[in-house]
Amino acid sequence: MSSYIIEGGHKLEGTVKISGSKNAALPILAATVLNVGKTTLYNVPNIQDTQMMFKILETLGGKVEKKNNKIIIDTSKINKFEIPEELMHKMRSSVILAGALLGRYKKAIFSYPGGCDIGSRPIDLHLRSFEKLGINVVQNYGNIICDAEKIKGEKIDLDFPSVGATENAILASVLAEGTTTITNSAREPEIIDLQNFLNKMGAKIIGAGTNEIQITGVKKLKDISYNIMPDRIETGTFLCLAVATKGNLILENTNAEHITPVITKLQEAECKIEIEKNKIKINSNKKIKALDIKTMPYPGFPTDMQSVFSAMLTTAKGTSIIVENIFENRFKYVDELTRMGAIMKVEGNTAFITGVGSLAGAQVAAPDLRAGAALVIAGMAANGFTVVDDIVYIQRGYERFEEKLSGLGAIIAKVDSEKEERKFKLKVGWVLD
Active-site residue list: 116
CB crowding 334-343: b at 16 or more within 10 Å, else e: bebbebbbbe
Report the DSSP beta bridge partners of residue 206: 214
- The span from the CA of 232 to the CA of 257, in Å, is 9
DSSP secondary structure string, 272-299? EEEEETTEEEEE--SPPBP-EEEB-STT
H-helix or E-strand spanning residue 412: strand 411-415
CA 55 to chain centre: 19
CA dist list (Å): 8 to 169, 203, 210, 215, 384: 45, 50, 42, 50, 6
CA 322 to chain centre: 20
- The span from the CA of 365 to the CA of 397, in Å, is 16
Residues 6+ apart with CB under 8 A from 415: 2, 3, 4, 5, 421, 424
Report the DSSP beta bridge partners of residue 353: 320, 344
Q: Report the side by side order of strands in the sheet with 179-183.
A: 155-157, 179-183, 212-216, 204-206
